[in-house]
Copies of this chain bind each other. A is one copy, B any other.
Amino acid sequence: MSTYLGLDFGGTKLAAGIADGHGRLLAIERCPTDAAAGPDGAISAMRRLVQSFPRSLPEPVAVGISFGGPVDLACRRTLLSHHGPGWEDFPLVERVAEVWRRPVAMDNDANAAALGEFRFGAGRGYRNVLYVTVSTGIGAGVILDGKLYRGSRGLSGEVGHTIVLPDGPLCPCGKRGCVEAIASGPSIARAYAERAGLPPAAITAESVFRRAEQGDEMARDVLRWAIGLLGIGLANAINLLDPDVVVVGGGVSRAGDALFSPLREAVRANSAPSPPGAVPIVPAVLGDAVGVLGAVALVCDQSRDSAPG
């Protein structure tokens, strides 16, 4: 049995795992990201995680990387991390190949997660899959005709920065009414805190969902507004891409039916008129392991496309 090492370089945590080509996870270890330690510190931390795996595991034949930030078009170098210095134009693939002496594949976290859910998770068996993560930010990865579609400049899938309310809240990107400025976890929390006159730090998206469940009308209003507009963003993406399925992951998706029921209704109401059979909107299933398993899917796909170097 061939196994693969998956490395998930996230902004708040690092994770390393070993899985087989069917996405069965044999080991996974995590530690917090030390942003100040930069790329070299992150690679050292990954080595320690891998050294802590049971010795009985088969040696991985290749290494995949999910990186929490933009990567270059050839997927060899990181362009930037929003969480710490030292990642501008860093040759992460080359450096990881030096450490593990195996073929390496990399992509940004949204693309890796999309491929992970497509190969091993909720997108299995479909051909065209839109994966959306609703978390600190909102990102997406697009699988078309069974392959990751990266766009002309590696910038496809920016659902989070599509605009659904031109006079809406200001997004850190400088525009108004981006889906991310409305329906990301922090945006939901901020909208509630503002209405309730609470300090933003007192509120999380999770607590807004909890308050809504307990009957708090203000929390319900905020969620109706945010989820309704997220639904417009997804409907717009569906109208363009006509996928088989939309898979929704990320921290906010843990709200379960409290998210998915109104989201499906909003997508249905805002989709183009179409033949019977709405596009299913389903929860991601890989949970916290999506980065590691996405990384494994990346390197499995690369091994399939070309003999390992």
Contact = CB atoms under 8 A, between A and B. Distances in A.
A142 interface: yes
A185 to B, nearest CB: 19
Interface in A138-181: 140, 142, 144-145, 149-159, 161-166, 173-175
Contacts of A145: 149
A243 B241 CA distance: 13
Interface string A260-287: 0000000001111111010100000000
A269 B173 CA distance: 11
Counted per complex, copies of this chain come to: 2
A159 B240 contact: yes
A153 B274 contact: yes
Residue among A152, A159, A175, A275 with the most chain B CB within 10 A?
A152
B239 A158 contact: yes
B270 A151 contact: no
Contacts of A166: 164-165, 229, 232
Interface in A235-258: 235-237, 239-244
A78 interface: no
Contacts of A156: 240-242
A149 B241 CA distance: 8
A161 B240 CA distance: 9
Interface residues of A, number: 46
A274 B236 contact: no
Q: Main SS of the interface on chain A? A: loop
A172 to B, nearest CB: 9
A4 to B, nearest CB: 26
A165 B158 CA distance: 19
Given A164-B166, A166-B165, A166-B229, A241 B272 contact: no
Contacts of A128: 151-152
Given A162-B236, A164-B166, A243 B151 contact: yes
Nearest to A236: B162
Contacts of A273: 161, 173-174
Given A142-B240, A156-B241, A166-B229, 20 more contacts: A127-B152, A145-B149, A151-B242, A152-B242, A152-B244, A153-B274, A153-B277, A154-B242, A157-B242, A159-B240, A161-B239, A162-B236, A163-B232, A163-B235, A165-B166, A166-B232, A173-B272, A175-B269, A175-B270, A240-B240
Interface of A: 127-128, 140, 142, 144-145, 149-159, 161-166, 173-175, 229, 232, 235-237, 239-244, 269-275, 277, 279
8 contacts: A152-B244, A157-B240, A162-B235, A163-B164, A163-B236, A166-B232, A173-B272, A237-B240
